[in-house]
């Protein structure tokens, strides 16, 4: 029994670099790693083969591995892990890395590299991985010595997951994978240069709470920072919203932090946000921004953005403060910590909202709500995409459901019509807008939650970008449901061409689409096609009941546009509704057309 001693206080052990990678992953609590083998990572794959601690999920393209790790991370709050080879393996991961950087998703990507003596020699499958990934990672490392490897691996996890989360690359040359060295366990290392500020400044918090108690037309504007901070932040936010009685809106990234069924919830804001959310942003006198970053999709025209409001901005990243919009009370810190302190102060100071003013504010908001800006004309003969999402929501809301999306109209409709009740249930590419994100992300989510219902709400164009990952889903028995709103167009491109480019649909129509049912069958998955509104419920139920990956080809109205919409160059109070008299063409000036 003497060997048991090593379990408690394991002495540092001799092993190869490849074995260290596995050991470090296990010590960091990693159970799953997404990857694709190749020459420069073979020693690590050999080590994977000889252990049981970390399970490898073989993808079909490295981009898919990174998105799967992102889905895994976003649905669990843990760090997602990827293993790819040098050269093309690393370059294929770049889109995923950039996506994770834009949306602040914690992932660690381990890349193989050619042996150190060949670096710089244009060796086979060599690329300057740290050079290429420097601007699209939070941090990256090239490990040239086995002595640095354990420290770097542990540091990578710490950096990926702490502060504002993000992707970290560890590039390991093949000779370092073979080299023998001494492995050491993770320690709480004091990194000189990297110390994120997690607690908010008490004097600023006091200032914020005082402003809130005095506000006449207050509004919470929250974002992905609340989700990233962990479920505690959402719980505290809900408590605070309830306690104050203030209205709340959020960005695309922040959906689920408060319940969509909450009467104080105004819906998403921004370019395709609701009438009430955007008008409230425009007219509020106090904006309480928590974990959002005043992105251009949110603010619209900057010089007309919420002109009369005092702005409080809570963010863990100091560089988000005053980047686009000047704020009055910046508070640097983790959302959960700051919310906790604000809430405590609100209670201990017995602060009361201005009930009379708040009542008037809600009356005004209710007028905006009465516009019913998300309404659309339904049809009994053709499936409207909005209707499809509504039915999907109704038939899945009582289940343990996770939603991922691709990018485009379907993504916006999902955000508008699927009522998210909990955080970490909504995985979408917000910042980078990566078509092809949703299917591999769903694989990652399903891997983390094998018993849950995981649905990728997709467009037929986006989903083809990473369709090969259906093979991954089938191999690993991950019963993801890909719900394709098939309008045969790149819908958002088509919408902009209709509204801005005289209806000249340059290259946005997809000829020669595959038969998605046959395609599913070719992957040994299940295909379902639905063309009529009357058949939709039955078909969705069938999809849910199948214990296999499903491609659901939902044939929808080809010409439906996504409204409401703030046209380019316009402000929040100038948004258009689907049935507004003003045509979008008139609303957008020549200068406006220049904008994305």
Residues that bind another protein (CB under 8 A): 130-131, 134-135, 138-139, 142, 159, 191-194, 271, 296-297, 299-303, 317-319, 321-324, 326, 568-570, 588-592, 595-596
CB 455 within 8 A of CB 498: no
Q: How far apart are CA 434 and CA 404, in angstroms?
A: 12
Catalytic residue among 78, 138, 174, 311: 174
Which pairing describes strands 180-183 and 13-16: parallel, antiparallel, or unpaired?
A: antiparallel
- What the block records as the tokens of 211 is 């402003």
CB 211 within 8 A of CB 331: no
Which pairing describes strands 481-486 and 550-555: parallel, antiparallel, or unpaired?
A: parallel
Q: How far apart are CA 234 and CA 425, in angstroms?
A: 13
Nearer to another protein, 540 or 571 (CB): 571
Catalytic residue among 20, 467, 492, 575: 492
Nearer to another protein, 493 or 588 (CB): 588
Nearer to another protein, 194 or 505 (CB): 194
Q: How far apart are CA 498 and CA 583, in angstroms?
A: 11
Would you say how long the chain is, in residues? 596
Catalytic residue among 23, 62, 70, 276: 62
Catalytic residue among 124, 377, 421, 558: 124
Active site residue 124: yes
Smallest CA-to-CA distance from 320 within 248, 250, 224 is with 224
Active site residue 174: yes
Smallest CA-to-CA distance from 276 within 376, 372, 419, 386 is with 372
Nearer to another protein, 19 or 334 (CB): 334
Nearer to another protein, 547 or 591 (CB): 591
- What the block records as the tokens of 47 is 């080590």
Nearer to another protein, 137 or 446 (CB): 137
Shortest gap between Cβ of 520 and another protein (angstroms)? Answer: 38
Burial tier of 267 (Cβ tally within 10 Å: 0-12, 13-18, 19+): buried
Catalytic residue among 31, 125, 207, 488: 125
Shortest gap between Cβ of 543 and another protein (angstroms)? Answer: 37
Measured on CA atoms in the order 356, 361, 363, 364, is the torsion positive or negative? positive
What Rg value do the Cα atoms of the chain yield, rounded? Answer: 25
Q: How far apart are CA 414 and CA 389, in angstroms?
A: 6
Shortest gap between Cβ of 493 and another protein (angstroms)? Answer: 17
Q: How far apart are CA 191 and CA 259, in angstroms?
A: 38
Three-class SS state of 459? strand
Shortest gap between Cβ of 370 and another protein (angstroms)? Answer: 27
Shortest gap between Cβ of 554 and another protein (angstroms)? Answer: 31
Cis peptide before 199 (omega within 30 of 0): no
Nearer to another protein, 316 or 443 (CB): 316
Three-class SS state of 531? coil
Nearer to another protein, 139 or 185 (CB): 139
Shortest gap between Cβ of 490 and another protein (angstroms)? Answer: 20
Active site residue 240: no
Shortest gap between Cβ of 485 and another protein (angstroms)? Answer: 25
Neighbouring CB atoms inside 10 A of 192's CB total: 6
Shortest gap between Cβ of 139 and another protein (angstroms)? Answer: 4
207 contact partners, CB below 8 Å, separation of at least 6 = 329
Fill in the DSSP letter of residue 185. -
Q: Which positions are annotated as active-site residues?
A: 62, 124-125, 174, 492
């Amino acid at each position: 029994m003497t060997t048991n001693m090593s379990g408690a206080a394991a002495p540092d052990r001799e092993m190869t670099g490849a074995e260290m990678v596995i050991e470090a992953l296990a010590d960091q609590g990693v159970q799953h790693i997404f990857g694709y083998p190749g020459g420069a990572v073979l020693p690590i794959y050999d080590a994977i083969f000889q252990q049981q601690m970390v399970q490898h999920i073989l993808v079909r393209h490295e981009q898919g591995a990174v998105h799967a790790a992102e889905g895994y991370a976003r649905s669990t709050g843990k760090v997602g892990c990827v293993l790819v080879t040098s050269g093309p393996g690393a370059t294929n991961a770049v889109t995923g890395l950039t996506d994770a950087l834009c949306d602040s998703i914690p992932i660690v990507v381990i890349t193989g590299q050619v042996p150190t003596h060949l670096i710089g020699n244009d060796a086979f499958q060599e690329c300057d991985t740290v050079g290429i990934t420097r601007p699209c990672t939070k941090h990256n490392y090239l490990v040239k010595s086995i002595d640095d490897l354990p420290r770097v691996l542990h540091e990578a996890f710490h950096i990926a997951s702490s502060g504002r989360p993000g992707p970290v690359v560890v590039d390991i040359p093949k000779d370092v994978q073979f080299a023998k060295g001494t492995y050491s366990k993770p320690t709480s290392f004091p990194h000189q240069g990297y110390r994120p500020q997690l607690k908010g400044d008490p004097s600023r918090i006091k200032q914020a709470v005082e402003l809130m108690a005095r506000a006449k037309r207050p509004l919470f504007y929250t974002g992905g920072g609340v989700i990233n901070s962990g479920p505690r932040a959402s719980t505290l936010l809900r408590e605070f919203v309830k306690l104050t009685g203030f209205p709340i809106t959020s960005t695309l990234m922040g959906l689920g932090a408060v319940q969509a069924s909450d009467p104080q919830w105004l819906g998403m804001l921004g370019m395709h946000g609701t009438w009430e959310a955007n008008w409230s942003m425009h007219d509020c006198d106090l904006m309480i921004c928590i974990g959002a970053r005043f992105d251009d999709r949110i603010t619209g025209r900057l010089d007309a953005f919420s002109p009369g409001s005092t702005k409080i901005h809570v963010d863990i990243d100091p560089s988000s403060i005053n980047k686009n919009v000047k704020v009055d009370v910046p508070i640097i810190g983790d959302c959960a910590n700051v919310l906790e302190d604000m809430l405590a102060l609100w209670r201990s100071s017995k602060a009361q909202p201005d009930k009379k003013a708040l009542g008037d504010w809600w009356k005004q908001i209710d007028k905006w709500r009465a516009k019913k800006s998300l309404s659309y004309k339904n049809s009994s003969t053709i499936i409207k995409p909005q209707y499809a999402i509504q039915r999907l929501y109704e038939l899945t809301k009582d289940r343990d459901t996770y939603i991922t999306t691709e990018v485009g109209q379907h993504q916006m409709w999902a955000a508008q019509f699927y009522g998210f009740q909990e955080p970490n249930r909504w995985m979408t590419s917000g910042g980078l807008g990566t078509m092809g994100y949703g299917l591999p992300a769903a694989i990652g989510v399903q891997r983390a939650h094998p018993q849950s219902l995981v649905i990728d709400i997709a467009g037929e164009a986006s989903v083809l970008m990473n369709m090969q990952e259906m093979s991954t889903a089938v191999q690993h028995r991950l019963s993801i449901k890909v719900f394709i709103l098939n309008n045969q167009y790149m819908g958002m491109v088509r919408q902009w061409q209709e509204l801005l480019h005289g209806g000249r649909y340059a290259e946005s129509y997809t000829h020669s689409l595959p038969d998605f049912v046959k395609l599913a069958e070719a992957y040994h998955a299940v295909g379902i096609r639905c063309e009529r509104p009357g058949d939709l419920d039955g078909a969705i139920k069938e999809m849910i009941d199948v214990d296999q990956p499903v491609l659901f080809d939902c044939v929808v109205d080809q010409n439906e546009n996504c409204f409401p919409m703030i046209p380019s160059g316009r402000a929040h109070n100038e948004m258009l509704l689907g049935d507004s008299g003003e045509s979008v063409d008139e609303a957008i000036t020549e200068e406006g057309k220049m904008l994305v």
